[in-house]
Chain A
Amino acid sequence: MSLLKPFSKLPGLNTANILLVENQEQLQHMLADVLVKETPLTVTVRLAKSLPLPVDESRPRIDLVVFIINLTSELSFQSAEDSLKYLDPGYFLGKVCFMVTNARHASVPTERLDALRRLAASLHCPLLFAEDQTPEGVIGAAERLLTILKVSAGVVPMTTALYLSNLTRCTLPPDIDQPSFD
């Protein structure tokens, strides 16, 4: 029952560690398969159903924590929300992101997406959408995670995780149903 800390260990040379947290354990496996194929950088993928993680001294430093949320399931959202408190505040300086699946599904209540947006906006985290139904969608999602992971693992010169998250963090969308131009 310990906090996961971002700066408690030294980074490895040319390696990046990503932690995928998903309650339903569907997309994380597919993503992991794509992520580990990245060549110039050694990407280690760790999977979890929820946080906290058991105490394990050999666990390397985690560079990016991704919460995968299936919007059609309330449980998935709840579990991610509960897991958040087991992260060190340092993670919220650009090392956490949310990935949402099924956002375009008809059975998703709009309130749930709004609540998630509010959560991500309040934590200054990016909110990524993914199409998990098709292989292309999974590859696309993995590529976007890699883009963020590379920055948060510090392998992109001239930038930091905090800088990137400042650019990509979620904002609350307007009431688009009624864009009045007056």
Chain B
Amino acid sequence: MAASLNSSESDRSSLGGQSASSRSNNRSLRVAEKERRRNEAEDPFVLALKYFSVVEAGTPVVGNDDFENNLVLVERTAYSQGLSPEAISIMLEFAMSLRMGTAPCARVLKCLIPASVVPQEAVVRAAVWLSVGKIPISTQVLFIKWVLTVFDMIDAKDQLRAIYGFIFSFVTEENLCPFICHLLYLLTQKESVRVYRVRKLLELQSKLGRQPFLLHLLSLYKVFCPELVTLSIPSRMRGAFRNHVSPWKAALTAVQKRNGSLAGSSVSPALAVRDKSGSRKRKHCHLQLPALTSVASDGARSEQTSSRTLVPLAHLQSFDQLLKNVHRIELPAQMGSLLGSSVALQYLDCIQDESALLRLNFWLGCALHEEFLFCGDGATQTSEALQFLSRLLSAQHFLQEGFSSSDAFLYKFLNVWDGSLLRPQILCLLSNIPVIPSSQIRKLLFEPLTQLFFTSSLFFKCGLVECLNNMLLKWLTWHSVYALEDDLDISLNSHTSLNITLSGFKDSVMELIHFVGHLASVGLQLEGCHALLLSFVLDFYETVCDTFLKFGLPLVVMPPAGVFYPAFFATDPVSVDRLAHIMHRYKVNLTSAKRQEKQKEQAFHISRQTFQEFNHCVVFMVNCLWNSRMFYPGSDVQPGEELLLGSGVPRYWASFDFIHHPAFVSYALDFHQKCWPSRKEMDLSSIKDSKPWSWYLDYLFSQGFDGLKDFLKSNISRQAAAVDEQQR
């Protein structure tokens, strides 16, 4: 058995360390080969492998020093450099054949850390040993767990898929079932979904209850063949297969890191060529995306593709080629690789292949959970995580929507986030979250975010407001695209069956706007109305004020007083100008909403209160800036006359007009100097006269305060007309 294995190995990779025979008839080569073999013969590791490949069945384990020494040697190599593909084959064969009984089996399995790839043949052969039936169940579980752990490193999956039915037969074994289901999930193709398999799984489900691992496999079956699976599957399921976390993972990572620089040279060229685009990347850094590889190994590929006429995505280089073959695409073995290839992303975008998205989401969910929520001992390498998230983000950016698994991950992650780990990436991911129903939004998003917002620095506050602004923009854009097609029932995401009504959507948007309003008011108060934070808040309200005209959503929400007054009393003219611009846009939106409401008598209705709030704000601004009447009946603050006189502020009612507002007083001074250069005495109130006043306004507008210009034009009709006349 072992000998035949060796020869088949040598066919595959003639330069592999232990391959016995070279069929070359070149003499000098043969000499060199001899030399090499002599060197190898002295290598104790090679000897150890040789021992395991030829050891007789029935050799006792207890008191066998040879065995002990050799196994220790293999273990040491495995944990330091990992095992070569040939060594994996030999050791796996040794363990699973139980040549020395069941005792060493588990021990050997535990040290099977691959240095590069795992040969598929070895896995298939070992799987066959499972059915011989002498292996204890715990060891069988261990073996399947090992396969799951190294699944991404198995060099091809075609033969494993060929024995799908064989693997499926183990599903009835109760202890193995969760792990077998996971393995099947990774191997399932459309052809593997059969009626009798579905029936078997349903039968199991009625026996074991609605187990997540069964549901996950069934949901994949349902995607492939919806007519076979009539079962209703919950739209979001508990993360099912938690089978990765094991000592192997840690050992594997350690070995991969250590081998990082060596991998290129230590793997034989034959493998290197085949695997050039293969899982090499994943070897270096476990968080990097695997590269595109096709399912079948190279040798088998030619005949297989011709018979099934499928084109692996990895072979496509351009969009043109994708278009030509779009009806017969073969998905890669590792769905994660889709994220890294633009052609694959285009495929995902055009075809809306549900099974591809399901598998991709599954992979992504596992990867994100493992790396960010259930970390091992070694801290996650920030640079790796950074790269990974950037790739994910660029993929999401390309597809213009998030992945449901990354959303589910974020909801959990926000609850344990320190607010600074990978902040830009996490905030960016957060802004890609699709609309959440208003009943859930508070628990899922607002509560963790409130806690983070108020305990973090100013920069976090700014970042979060910006992120929520982007989120709102995406929601609104999404609405403006999909609402045209269907007025009431809009799908939450182009791939889920989750629907949300227009009023539900409006509720969610309103919740979000009110939430940011709350954060902004209190945040500005805590940070002493910091200009930076104010600027981000105004950014947000620039989006909010245009919801009706820009995005067609009949919803107008005014800023709370905690945002309006700090912006109005700001000492920098830019904030005041932007506030004026926002108020102007509110007016345009409200008037056009009112006009439409009258014309069409549509169902939508903007509440009276919104108009009142708006009028209140505008009246206050006009009174302050234009009429020099700080306090008037009906304003928010009405201190007593004596109190105002007692304050000793001269002409207190004019403190915030265009001339005396702290943001504009420097402009007034400058204007005064330019207007009357010969005057020695500064008298700002002389600007109030009608002629200099209109000049002063022109001067202000020439400084680029377009927001104020628009605001005045739309709100002060008489004067604006007069100014126009004067200009003519």
Q: Tell whether, in the assembled complex, residue B448 and residue A173 are in contact, meaning their CB atoms are under 8 Å apart.
A: yes
Q: Tell whether, in the assembled complex, residue A176 and residue B456 are in contact, meaning their CB atoms are under 8 Å apart.
A: no
> Bound complex: CA of A169 vs CA of B559, how far in Å?
26
Q: Tell whether, in the assembled complex, residue B456 and residue A167 are in contact, meaning their CB atoms are under 8 Å apart.
A: no
Taking a contact as CB atoms closer than 8 A, the residue among B415, B420, B457 that contacts A136 in the complex is: B420
Taking a contact as CB atoms closer than 8 A, the residue among A106, A128, A136, A176 that contacts B455 in the complex is: A128
Measured between beta carbons, the chain A residues less than 8 angstroms from B245 are 106
Q: Tell whether, in the assembled complex, residue A137 and residue B456 are in contact, meaning their CB atoms are under 8 Å apart.
A: no
30 A-B residue pairs with Cβ-Cβ distance under 8 Å, sorted by A, are A104-B374, A113-B416, A126-B451, A126-B455, A128-B418, A129-B416, A129-B417, A129-B418, A134-B382, A139-B420, A140-B419, A141-B418, A144-B418, A144-B455, A158-B525, A159-B525, A167-B450, A168-B455, A173-B443, A174-B443, A176-B412, A176-B444, A177-B239, A178-B237, A178-B238, A179-B411, A179-B444, A181-B235, A181-B437, A181-B440
**Smallest CB–CB gap between B668 and chain A, Å?**
29
> Bound complex: CA of A159 vs CA of B529, how far in Å?
13
Measured between beta carbons, the chain B residues less than 8 angstroms from A133 are 379
> Bound complex: CA of A178 vs CA of B412, how far in Å?
11
Taking a contact as CB atoms closer than 8 A, the residue among B236, B382, B415, B492 that contacts A179 in the complex is: B236
Q: Tell whether, in the assembled complex, residue B455 and residue A104 are in contact, meaning their CB atoms are under 8 Å apart.
A: no
A120-153 interface code vs B (CB 8 A; 1 in, 0 out): 0000001111110110110111011001100100
New A-B contacts (15) at CB < 8 Å, excluding given A148-B455, A177-B239, A178-B237:
A104-B372, A104-B374, A127-B451, A129-B416, A134-B382, A137-B418, A143-B457, A144-B418, A144-B457, A147-B455, A173-B415, A174-B443, A176-B415, A178-B236, A181-B236
> Bound complex: CA of A106 vs CA of B235, how far in Å?
27
**Smallest CB–CB gap between A122 and chain B, Å?**
16
Q: Tell whether, in the assembled complex, residue B418 and residue A130 are in contact, meaning their CB atoms are under 8 Å apart.
A: yes
B373-384 interface code vs A (CB 8 A; 1 in, 0 out): 111100100100
**Smallest CB–CB gap between B612 and chain A, Å?**
28
* A115 within 8 A of partner (CB): no
**Smallest CB–CB gap between A65 and chain B, Å?**
15
* B604 within 8 A of partner (CB): no
Q: Tell whether, in the assembled complex, residue B411 and residue A176 are in contact, meaning their CB atoms are under 8 Å apart.
A: yes
Q: Give the nearest-CB partner of B376 in chain A.
A: A106
Q: Tell whether, in the assembled complex, residue B419 and residue A104 are in contact, meaning their CB atoms are under 8 Å apart.
A: no
Measured between beta carbons, the chain A residues less than 8 angstroms from B440 are 174, 179, 181
A69-103 interface code vs B (CB 8 A; 1 in, 0 out): 00000000000000000000000000000001001
Q: Tell whether, in the assembled complex, residue B379 and residue A168 are in contact, meaning their CB atoms are under 8 Å apart.
A: no
Q: Tell whether, in the assembled complex, residue B418 and residue A140 are in contact, meaning their CB atoms are under 8 Å apart.
A: yes
B226-253 contacts to A, CB under 8 A, are 234-239, 245
Taking a contact as CB atoms closer than 8 A, the residue among A104, A167, A178, A179 that contacts B375 in the complex is: A104
Taking a contact as CB atoms closer than 8 A, the residue among A126, A144, A156, A176 that contacts B419 in the complex is: A144
Q: Tell whether, in the assembled complex, residue A140 and residue B454 are in contact, meaning their CB atoms are under 8 Å apart.
A: no
* A171 within 8 A of partner (CB): yes
* A32 within 8 A of partner (CB): no
Taking a contact as CB atoms closer than 8 A, the residue among A106, A139, A156, A173 that contacts B447 in the complex is: A173
B-binding residues in A (CB < 8 A): 100, 103-106, 113, 126-131, 133-134, 136-137, 139-141, 143-144, 147-148, 151, 156-159, 164, 167-171, 173-174, 176-181
Q: Give the nearest-CB partner of A166 in chain B.
A: B454
B616-658 interface code vs A (CB 8 A; 1 in, 0 out): 0000000000000000000000000000000000000000000
Measured between beta carbons, the chain A residues less than 8 angstroms from B236 are 178-181
* B484 within 8 A of partner (CB): no
Q: Give the nearest-CB partner of B370 in chain A.
A: A106
> Bound complex: CA of A133 vs CA of B440, how far in Å?
33
Tell me how many residues of B have a C-beta within 8 Å of chain A: 43
A-binding residues in B (CB < 8 A): 234-239, 245, 372-376, 379, 382, 408, 411-412, 415-421, 436-437, 440, 443-444, 447-448, 450-451, 454-457, 492, 498, 522, 525-526, 528
Measured between beta carbons, the chain B residues less than 8 angstroms from A113 are 416
Q: Tell whether, in the assembled complex, residue B374 and residue A106 are in contact, meaning their CB atoms are under 8 Å apart.
A: yes
> Bound complex: CA of A28 vs CA of B415, how far in Å?
23
> Bound complex: CA of A106 vs CA of B375, how far in Å?
5
> Bound complex: CA of A126 vs CA of B418, how far in Å?
13
> Bound complex: CA of A115 vs CA of B330, how far in Å?
48
Measured between beta carbons, the chain B residues less than 8 angstroms from A170 are 451
Measured between beta carbons, the chain B residues less than 8 angstroms from A180 are 234-236
**Smallest CB–CB gap between A146 and chain B, Å?**
9
Measured between beta carbons, the chain A residues less than 8 angstroms from B239 are 177
**Smallest CB–CB gap between B607 and chain A, Å?**
27
Interface centre among A134, A180, A181 (most CB of B within 10 A): A181
> Bound complex: CA of A157 vs CA of B527, how far in Å?
9
Measured between beta carbons, the chain A residues less than 8 angstroms from B376 are 106
Measured between beta carbons, the chain A residues less than 8 angstroms from B411 are 176, 179
Q: Tell whether, in the assembled complex, residue A157 and residue B450 are in contact, meaning their CB atoms are under 8 Å apart.
A: no
Q: Tell whether, in the assembled complex, residue B418 and residue A156 are in contact, meaning their CB atoms are under 8 Å apart.
A: no
> Bound complex: CA of A110 vs CA of B121, how far in Å?
40
**Smallest CB–CB gap between B134 and chain A, Å?**
34
> Bound complex: CA of A131 vs CA of B444, how far in Å?
22
> Bound complex: CA of A164 vs CA of B527, how far in Å?
12
Q: Tell whether, in the assembled complex, residue B454 and residue A167 are in contact, meaning their CB atoms are under 8 Å apart.
A: yes
**Smallest CB–CB gap between A99 and chain B, Å?**
9
Q: Give the nearest-CB partner of A103 in chain B.
A: B416
Measured between beta carbons, the chain A residues less than 8 angstroms from B237 are 178
Taking a contact as CB atoms closer than 8 A, the residue among A136, A169, A179 that contacts B408 in the complex is: A179
Measured between beta carbons, the chain B residues less than 8 angstroms from A173 are 415, 443, 447-448
Q: Tell whether, in the assembled complex, residue B421 and residue A131 are in contact, meaning their CB atoms are under 8 Å apart.
A: yes
